[in-house]
Structure 1
Amino acid sequence: MRLLFLGDIMGRAGRAAVATTLPRLKTDWRLDFVVVNGENATSGHGLSQSHAETMLAAGVDCLTLGDHAFDQRDMLQFIDREPRIVRPMNYAKTAPGRGFQLFEARGGRKVLVMQALGQVFMKRPFSDPFSAVEGILRSHPLGGLASAIIVDIHCEATSEKMAVGHFCDGRASLVVGTHTHVPTGDAQILPGGTAFMTDAGMCGDYNSVIGMEKTEPLRRFITGMPKDRFTPAAGEATLSGVFVETDDKTGKALRVAPIRIGGRLQQAGPDGAL
């Protein structure tokens, strides 16, 4: 199975890049399933219903969220009506929506997508992500009903993301980190057969401070005083993420490659330079 995971969509620039580029990638790369983190798609703060619908119409099979899952109030109702959106499973127990979902991919095969929030350096004390992930992996063994399993671990600390990757090794097809908006250079297949990348990066304008227009973040770092709101940078976006090809029988990874398309970062795809 050929899987694509794209990192956090950041504002209008990120949405436009996904909407215009993804349909071609699905054809050219013969993708079976696409997951995109959308928690910053709406002005950098959450995901609105209309922007979710735009991304799904562009060919995204599953949208994951994060700690900004419900910054947009209409998501509180929409997520219960739209099964293609997955929120963190260790969010508040009363939160609407679902933290994992079994999807049908191209050819009728099943893909399980789950998301958990980390605990280290996060602003809110979320519950243990390891026990949350463990329960789903036990009830959905890789290679059984699920031909592939994708784990989006939404964390601040790289060490915590790496720990989750090793914790899931051999039991998931891909464990990929989101949240920090900076793509890491450690795409690899772990000893047990799980593809791993510490952070997928963002789909946004990299002429920025993690996706935000530079002026206000610089002012706050230099002076310690806020003046204006953060606004997403609006230049040409780079699509950042990871491509994984899995074994159809075991669900384990055969190949993993970082993705960089357009914008300011070096361009690369599953077969090298684009």
Structure 2
Amino acid sequence: MKILFLGDVMGRAGRTAIAEGLAQLRKDWRLDFVVVNGENATSGMGLSADHAKLLLEAGADVVTLGDHAFDQKDMLAFIEKEPRIIRPINFSKAAPGAGARVFTAPGGRKVLVAQVLGQVFMKRPFDDPFSALDATLRQYPMGGQVQASLIDIHCEATSEKMATGHFCDGRASIVVGTHTHVPTADAMILPGGTAYLSDAGMCGDYNSVIGMEKTEPLRRFITGMPKARFTPATQPATLSGLYVETDDKTGRATRVEMVRQGGRLAQAGPA
């Protein structure tokens, strides 16, 4: 199976890049399944129902969220009626929606998508990510219940993301990090056959401070004093993420490539 994961969509620039570019990528790369992290797509803080619809209509099969999952209040109701939106599996037990679901790809193949929040350096303590993932992966083993599985590990620390990758090695097809908006260069296939990347980066304007216009973040770093709200940068965005090919029989990754399309970090994608 050919699977594409795209990192955190950041504001209007990221939404526009998805809307204008994803359908062509699906065609050019003959993609079977696409997952997009959309938790910053609305003004850099959360995802509205309208913007979720835009990402899905543009070609995403599933949209994952993150620690800003419900910053846009209409998502509380929308996620209950839109199964293609996935919030973190270890979010509040009172949270609506689901943190893991199985979806159908072309040919009737089943794909598990789950998202989990890390604990290190996060602003609030979330439930243990490892026990949450363990229960899900036991329920949906590769080569049995599902032909492929993707885990979005949304957290600050690369060490925690790497630990998650090794914890899931051989049990998930893909473990990919999100949240920091900075793409890492460590795409690899782990010994058990899991494709791994510490952070997919963002789909946003990289002439910025992690997707925000530079002036206010610089002021706060230099002076320690806020003056205005953060606003997303608006120049052309780079689509950043991970391309993976998997074996339908085992669920293991057979190829992994970092993706940088358009904007300031452009590079060739899969041949």
TM-based fold match above 0.5: yes
Shift of 1:70: 0.1
Give the residue type in structure 2 aligned to 1:117: L
Structure 1 distance, partners of 2:117, 2:125, is 10
Does residue 34 (structure 1) correspond to residue 34 (structure 2)? The answer is: yes
1:200 and 2:221 are equivalent in the alignment = no
| 8 Å contact kept, 2:238–2:266 | no
Which residue does 2:210 correspond to in 1? Answer: 210
- Superposed CA deviations along residues 158-197 of structure 1, whole A, max 9, x for unmatched, are 0000000000000000000000000000000000000000
TM-aligned CA deviation for residue 246 of structure 1: 0.3
Pairwise CA distance, 1:268: 2.4
Residues 8 and 36 in structure 2, CA contact (< 8 A), matched pair in contact too: yes
Number of equivalent positions: 271
SS of structure 2 residue aligned to 1:137: helix
User: Which amino acid in 2 is paired with 1:13?
Assistant: A
Deviations 1:76-128 (A, max 9, x none): 00000000000000000000000001000112101000000000000010010
Instruction: Structure 2: give runs of 5+ residues left out of the alignment.
Output: none
SS at match of 1:31: coil
- Tell me if structure 1 keeps the 8 A contact 2:8–2:179: yes
Secondary structure of 1:40's aligned partner: coil
**In the alignment, which residue of structure 2 is the partner of 1:96?**
96
Counterpart of 1:146 in structure 2 is 146
**Cα displacement string for residues 53-89 of structure 1 (whole angstroms, at most 9, x for unaligned residues):** 0110011000000000000000000000000000000
Output one character per residue of 1:6-26: Cα deviation in whole Å (capped at 9) or x when no partner.
Answer: 000000000000111000011
Identity of aligned residues (%): 73
Q: Structure 1 unaligned runs (5+)?
A: none
Determine the C-alpha separation between the residues in 1 that align with 2:69 and 2:265: 27
Show the counterpart of 1:114: 114
Counterpart CA distance in 2 for 1:10 and 1:107 is 32
Structure 1 runs of 4+ with >6 Å offset? none
Distance 2:102 2:6 in 1: 19
| Greater mean alpha carbon deviation, residues 68-77 or residues 258-267 | 258-267
Normalised by the length of structure 1, the TM-score is: 0.98
Residue 55 of structure 1 aligns to a residue in which SS? helix
AA partner of residue 107 (structure 1): G
Question: Partners in 2 of 1:266 and 1:84 — Cα distance?
Answer: 28
1:142·1:148 contact (CA, 8 Å) conserved in 2? yes
Aligned-CA RMSD value: 0.5
Question: 3-state DSSP class of the match of 1:22?
Answer: helix
2:186 aligns with 186
